[in-house]
Amino acid sequence: MYTAIFGMFSFVWFGWAQENPRKNWRMYIGVASGTALLVCLIGVYLSVTHWDAATTLSEMDSLITYIIVFYAELIIGGLGAFLLIQKKKRDYVAPWIAFIVGAHFFWLVNVFKDPSLYILAVLMIVIAIISPWLSQKMGVANSAITGIGSGMSLFCFAILGLIRYLLA
């Protein structure tokens, strides 16, 4: 499931990156998006064919923590995005969401017993912080830089999940 989830969200972030990138980036972002979708589908196949295998979320405490973190992320991210749009700061929605997504990985480390999620959390937060500056410097939308950076980070974790599965 790790590969499926990270592959799917990598695909989503690469999709957001297509909002207003440089024209010569579009093909590469499209290829990255398609590759992320393919990795996601491999993860879905592996998840479905091993559906009865136990997961961390089979434990009630882990499931409850996960649900709380998920809904908190959704509510905080949504409210922040709403406020940014109301304040005519729409271009900051992607970095805001990346920041919240990054922060939520700190709480998921214990749920999934995966300290590597600390690395993903820091990567996503750093991307969220530097993307407005880098986007302005490069003359593209914040979502282009945020989407590419977040998409690549999540894609690496999708591949990490696949490697972990193959080595298990």
Tokens read off for 58: 């089979």
Residue 110's pLDDT is what?
93
3-state secondary structure string across the chain = CHHHHHHHHHHHHHHHHCCCCCHHHHHHHHHHHHHHHHHHHHHHHHHHHCCCCCCHHHCHHHHHHHHHHHHHHHHHHHHHHHHHHHCCCHHHHHHHHHHHHHHHHHHHHHHHCCCHHHHHHHHHHHHHHHHHHHHHHHCCCHHHHHHHHHHHHHHHHHHHHHHHHHHC
Neighbours of 78 (CB within 10 A): 12
Residue 57's pLDDT is what?
86
For residue 92, pLDDT over 90 is answered with yes
pTM to 2 decimals?
Answer: 0.94
pLDDT band at 165 (very low <50, low <70, confident <90, very high): very high
Rounded-to-integer distance, Cα 47 and Cα 43, Å: 6
Amino acid at 139: G
Q: How confident is the model over 101-121, as pLDDT tens digits?
A: 999 999 999 999 999 999 999
Residue 61's pLDDT is what?
93
**More reliable by pLDDT, 127 or 53:** 127
pLDDT exceeding 90 applies to what percent of the chain? Answer: 93
For residue 168, pLDDT over 90 is answered with no
Count up the domains in the chain and report the number: 1
Q: How confident is the model over 140-152, as pLDDT tens digits?
A: 999 999 999 999 9
Domain hosting residue 45, numbered range: 2-167
Mean pLDDT for all residues in the chain: 96
Residue 54's pLDDT is what?
81
With contact defined as beta carbons under 8 Å apart, do 99 and 125 qualify? yes
Amino acid at 38: L
